C-alpha cells in the first residue's frame, strides 16, 4: 500500500496584519522525499515551515501532516521535528547536555543521544559547551536534536548555513539516509546547487505564492532557453555567426558587461571578449557546429547560471511582475 503524503496542504494562506505571507499555497510531500523550498527573501518560506512545525495555524486552507489535520497552533502530531531561524540551542550547556535535556523533556529514555551526535559528526566535541561552537557546528547539533526524536517529517531552515564543504557533504549524507528510510525532509535554502544536489522535488515561492512545485527535472525543462557564456579563438567571427544563426540571441552589450563583472563567469580572460548568448539546446548545438565548421575553436561553453537557477529567476521575476 502506498503511504499517504506526509504533508498535504491546500490553499494555505497566512497574514500578519496587512502583510500577506502566504496566499493559496498547495503542497504535497511524500514519505521519503527530500523536498526543497526556495524563494527570494520575504517569499514566505519561513512562514510555511513554521506552519509545518505547528508554530502557527493558517488563516485559510487545510493542512494535514502525517495524515492528521492540523487545526490549531502547536497541534502537529508526534514525528515532526526540525527548526526554523536557526537551531534552538542553549549555549551554557554542552552538546550532550542539550540533547539530554531535550530527551528528558520528551520523557523518552530510549532516545540514543550518542548515536544522534555521532550521526552529525560531533562526537569529538560532545562534551564541549555550545557557546564555543561555530555556526556550522550549531547547525549540525540542531540536526542531531531533530534526529534524536526519529522524525517522520524533518523541517530544516537553511541547514547548510555555515557548513564547510566537508560538513555539507556529511549532512547531505545524513539527510539522504534518512529519506531512504522513509522520512520526508523539507528544507529551505538560498543555494540552488544545494537544492539540486539533494532534493528530488522543489517548491518555488514568490511573494507568498507557489511559482512552481514539482520534480526538479521538470523545472529545468520548463525553462527552454538559457544564457550561455562562449569563449572562442575568434570572438569577432563568433559574434557574426551568433548574429546570423537562427534561435540564437546575442545579449546586449550591458548584459555582456554585467557578465564580465560577474566574478563567477570569468567573462573577460586575458583580454579576450566573452560572448553571452541566449539559446535553446538545439539552437546551441547548431551554433557550435557552425563555429567548428568555420575553424573557430570553442574554448569555453557554459551556462551563465544553472538551469534550475535560471528557472528560479525566470519564475520569480515573472511572479513579481504579475
Positions in the binding site for another protein (CB under 8 A): 1-4, 16, 30-34, 46-47, 50, 53-56, 66-68, 74-93, 97, 101-102, 104-107, 145, 152, 176, 179-182, 200
Of residues 256, 290, 297, the one with CA closest to residue 276: 256
Our CB check for another protein shows the closer of 26 and 85 to be 85
Our CB check for another protein shows the closer of 200 and 306 to be 200
Task: Compute the least distance from the CB of residue 198 to another protein, in Å.
Answer: 9
Our CB check for another protein shows the closer of 74 and 302 to be 74
Task: Compute the least distance from the CB of residue 88 to another protein, in Å.
Answer: 2
- Exposure b/e, 194-218, CB count within 10 A at least 16 = b: bbbebbebbbbbbbbbbbbbeebee
Task: Compute the least distance from the CB of residue 97 to another protein, in Å.
Answer: 7
For residue 145 the three cell numbers come to 536534536
Region of residue 81 (left: phi > 0; alpha: psi -120 to 50; beta: else): beta
Q: How many CB atoms are closer than 10 A to CB 292?
A: 11
For the chain, what is the radius of gyration of the CA atoms? 23
Our CB check for another protein shows the closer of 141 and 256 to be 141
First CA to last CA distance, the chain: 42
8 A C-beta contact, residue 232 and residue 276: no
C-alpha distances (whole Å) from 257 to each of 266, 268, 300 are: 11, 9, 18
C-alpha distances (whole Å) from 170 to each of 144, 155, 163, 199 are: 12, 18, 10, 15
Our CB check for another protein shows the closer of 86 and 121 to be 86
Task: Compute the least distance from the CB of residue 29 to another protein, in Å.
Answer: 10
8 A C-beta contact, residue 48 and residue 205: yes
Task: Compute the least distance from the CB of residue 247 to another protein, in Å.
Answer: 34
Our CB check for another protein shows the closer of 80 and 259 to be 80
Please state whether beta strands 34-38 and 201-206 pair in parallel, antiparallel, or not at all (unpaired). parallel
Task: Compute the least distance from the CB of residue 10 to another protein, in Å.
Answer: 18
Task: Compute the least distance from the CB of residue 111 to another protein, in Å.
Answer: 12
Our CB check for another protein shows the closer of 179 and 291 to be 179
- Cross-strand bridge partners of residue 86: none
Our CB check for another protein shows the closer of 31 and 159 to be 31
Distance separating alpha carbons of residues 13 and 48, to the nearest angstrom: 9
| Backbone phi and psi for residue 210, each to the nearest 5 degrees, phi listed first | -80, 120
Task: Compute the least distance from the CB of residue 189 to another protein, in Å.
Answer: 16
Our CB check for another protein shows the closer of 74 and 166 to be 74
Task: Compute the least distance from the CB of residue 87 to another protein, in Å.
Answer: 7
47: CB partners within 8 A, 6+ apart: 14, 21, 22, 56, 208
Amino acid at each position: 500500500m502506498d503511504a499517504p503524503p506526509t504533508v498535504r496542504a491546500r490553499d494555505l494562506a497566512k497574514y500578519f496584519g496587512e502583510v500577506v505571507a502566504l496566499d493559496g499555497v498547495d503542497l504535497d510531500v511524500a514519505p521519503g522525499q527530500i523536498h526543497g523550498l526556495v524563494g527570494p527573501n520575504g517569499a514566505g518560506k519561513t512562514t510555511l515551515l513554521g506552519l509545518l512545525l505547528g508554530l502557527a495555524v493558517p488563516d485559510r486552507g487545510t493542512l494535514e501532516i502525517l495524515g492528521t489535520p492540523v487545526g490549531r497552533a502547536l497541534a502537529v502530531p508526534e514525528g515532526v521535528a526540525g527548526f526554523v531561524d536557526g537551531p534552538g540551542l542553549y549555549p551554557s550547556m554542552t552538546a550532550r547536555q542539550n540533547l539530554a535535556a531535550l530527551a528528558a523533556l520528551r520523557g523518552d529514555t530510549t532516545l540514543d543521544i550518542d548515536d544522534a551526535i555521532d550521526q552529525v559528526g560531533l562526537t569529538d566535541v560532545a562534551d564541549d559547551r555550545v557557546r564555543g561552537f561555530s555556526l556550522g557546528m550549531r547547525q549540525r547539533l540542531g540536526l542531531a536534536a531533530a534526529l534524536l526524536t526519529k522524525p517522520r517529517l524533518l523541517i530544516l531552515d537553511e541547514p547548510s548555513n555555515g557548513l564547510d564543504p566537508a560538513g555539507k557533504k556529511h549532512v547531505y549524507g545524513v539527510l539522504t539516509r534518512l529519506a531512504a528510510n522513509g522520512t520526508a525532509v523539507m528544507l529551505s535554502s538560498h543555494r540552488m546547487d544545494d537544492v539540486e544536489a539533494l532534493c528530488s522535488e522543489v517548491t518555488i515561492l514568490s511573494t507568498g505564492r507557489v511559482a512552481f512545485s514539482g520534480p526538479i527535472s521538470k523545472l529545468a525543462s520548463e525553462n527552454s532557453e538559457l544564457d550561455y557564456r562562449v569563449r572562442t579563438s575568434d570572438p569577432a567571427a563568433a559574434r557574426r555567426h551568433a548574429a546570423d544563426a537562427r534561435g540564437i540571441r546575442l545579449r546586449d552589450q550591458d548584459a555582456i558587461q554585467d557578465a564580465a563583472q560577474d566574478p563567477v563567469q570569468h567573462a573577460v580572460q586575458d583580454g579576450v571578449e566573452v560572448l553571452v548568448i541566449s539559446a535553446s539546446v538545439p539552437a546551441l548545438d547548431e551554433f557550435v557546429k557552425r563555429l567548428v565548421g568555420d575553424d573557430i575553436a570553442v574554448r569555453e561553453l557554459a551556462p551563465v547560471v544553472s538551469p534550475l537557477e535560471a528557472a528560479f529567476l525566470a519564475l520569480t521575476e515573472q511572479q513579481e511582475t504579475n
